[in-house]
């Protein structure tokens, strides 16, 4: 199955062929729908066939395939259809996802704390860091202002795919993350924010940091010893 969102995260719809239907589960030959993964929530949207639109309410990766969960899927026929995502939801996810890349880079530069997990929603996100001590209000304000400064500088975002071996030879963060991937992964997609940051990621991002908008930290939580969770959102 072609995963069109990897090449163009701004693609809102595409013609598809329905190749399999089983209860609510629909398999397509290609898709614009991002399946839950890497901390990013799945897309929602519709499959349109003839005059009827069918709601896609869940998208998951199962046994290497992207499975679309569709209401009343039994009324669909195999063959051509149109797949369209809820763009407002996706764009919120893209902006918050890209925000976490910038924020993760700022925290790593300032405190050498590594991201250990994240969760991205259309209207908010959270990111966990290891080896992160209690922060003073001044340090928190500094993280916010540095993140917003980088966003405002409007850096372009680009992609390259390299072999696993090449990725493991990149010093620092990427090497650490790539070494955790299952052995079946032979190639890695790297996402760069200009000279600011580069990391392995299969999610969807905006084209320039300026699209993210202004961010704020809404809460800081302790998650066990030396582990902190930052909750963030885009204000506008």
- Interface residues with Zn ion (CB under 5 A)? 201, 203
- How far is it, in rounded angstroms, from Cα 20 to Cα 28? 7
* Type and span of the H or E element at 229: strand 228-234
The smaller minimum CB distance to Zn ion, of residues 92 and 203, is found at 203
Measured from each CB, the residue nearest to Zn ion is 201
The smaller minimum CB distance to Zn ion, of residues 35 and 203, is found at 203
Minimal distance, residue 39 CB to Zn ion, in Å: 8
Minimal distance, residue 40 CB to Zn ion, in Å: 8
Minimal distance, residue 24 CB to Zn ion, in Å: 29
- Whether residue 107 contacts residue 175, with contact meaning beta carbons closer than 8 Å, is answered with no
The smaller minimum CB distance to Zn ion, of residues 73 and 232, is found at 232
The smaller minimum CB distance to Zn ion, of residues 32 and 120, is found at 120
Minimal distance, residue 75 CB to Zn ion, in Å: 36
Minimal distance, residue 115 CB to Zn ion, in Å: 11
- How far is it, in rounded angstroms, from Cα 231 to Cα 140? 12
- Whether residue 18 contacts residue 28, with contact meaning beta carbons closer than 8 Å, is answered with yes
CB proximity list for 215: less than 8 A, separation 6 or greater: 99, 103, 144, 147, 148, 151, 232, 233, 234, 235
The smaller minimum CB distance to Zn ion, of residues 70 and 102, is found at 102
152: left (phi over 0), alpha (psi -120 to 50) or beta: alpha
């Amino acid at each position: 199955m072609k995963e069109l969102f990897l090449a163009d995260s701004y693609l809102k719809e595409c013609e598809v062929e329905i190749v399999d239907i089983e209860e609510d589960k629909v398999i397509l030959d290609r898709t614009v729908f991002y399946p839950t993964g890497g901390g990013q929530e799945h897309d929602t949207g519709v499959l349109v066939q003839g005059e009827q639109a069918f709601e896609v309410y869940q998208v998951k990766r199962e046994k290497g395939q992207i499975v679309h969960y569709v209401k009343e899927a039994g009324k669909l026929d195999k063959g051509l259809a149109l797949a369209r995502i809820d763009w407002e939801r996706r764009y919120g996810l893209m902006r918050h996802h890209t925000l976490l890349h910038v924020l993760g880079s700022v925290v790593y530069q300032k405190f050498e704390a590594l991201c250990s997990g994240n969760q991205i929603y259309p209207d908010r996100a959270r990111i966990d860091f290891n080896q992160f001590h209690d922060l003073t209000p001044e340090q928190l304000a500094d993280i916010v202002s540095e993140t917003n400064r980088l966003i405002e500088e409007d850096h372009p975002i680009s992609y390259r795919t390299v072999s696993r071996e090449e990725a493991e030879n990149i010093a620092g963060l990427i090497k650490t993350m790539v070494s955790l991937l299952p052995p079946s992964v032979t190639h890695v997609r790297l996402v760069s924010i200009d000279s600011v940051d580069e990391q392995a990621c299969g999610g969807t991002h905006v084209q320039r940091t300026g699209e993210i908008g202004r961010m704020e930290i809404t809460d800081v939580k302790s998650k066990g010893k030396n582990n902190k969770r930052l909750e963030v959102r885009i204000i506008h």
